């Protein structure tokens, strides 16, 4: 598995956003088991039962609120949000991204 470009360019920010997503998954769906279920940052959330469609909607709303970004509905696709690496990379590349306080 190769490291996502965003992780290589800013590993601290990548780790912070990644941990935020893991914590959210633990709090809302997996009760402390999210990191075990994510078998790698390229692991498909849909194919591996980590999140279903409603869960993705909730996660998107949470990320928008936490980072004060607006995620374009045209960007809601498996290509952008179906794995940890894709989610974190999308957030880090968002034009309005600022680290959470």
pLDDT of residue 19: 96
Domains of the chain: 9-93 (1.10.1200.10)
Alpha-carbon gap, residue 59 to 81, rounded angstroms: 10
The DSSP output letter for 73 is G
Q: pLDDT tens digit string along 29-78? A: 999 999 999 999 999 999 999 999 999 999 999 999 999 999 999 999 99
pLDDT of residue 42: 96
The whole model's pTM is what? 0.88
Whether residue 21 contacts residue 87, with contact meaning beta carbons closer than 8 Å, is answered with yes
């Amino acid at each position: 598995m190769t490291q996502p470009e965003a992780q290589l360019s800013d590993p601290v920010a990548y780790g912070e956003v990644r941990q935020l997503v893991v914590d959210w998954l633990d709090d809302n769906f997996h009760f402390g088991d999210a990191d075990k279920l994510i078998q790698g940052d390229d692991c498909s959330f849909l194919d591996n039962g980590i999140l279903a469609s409603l869960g993705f909607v909730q996660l998107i709303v949470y990320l928008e609120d936490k980072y004060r970004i607006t995620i374009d509905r045209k960007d809601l696709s498996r290509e952008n949000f179906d794995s940890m690496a894709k989610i974190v990379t999308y957030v880090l590349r968002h034009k309005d991204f600022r680290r959470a306080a």
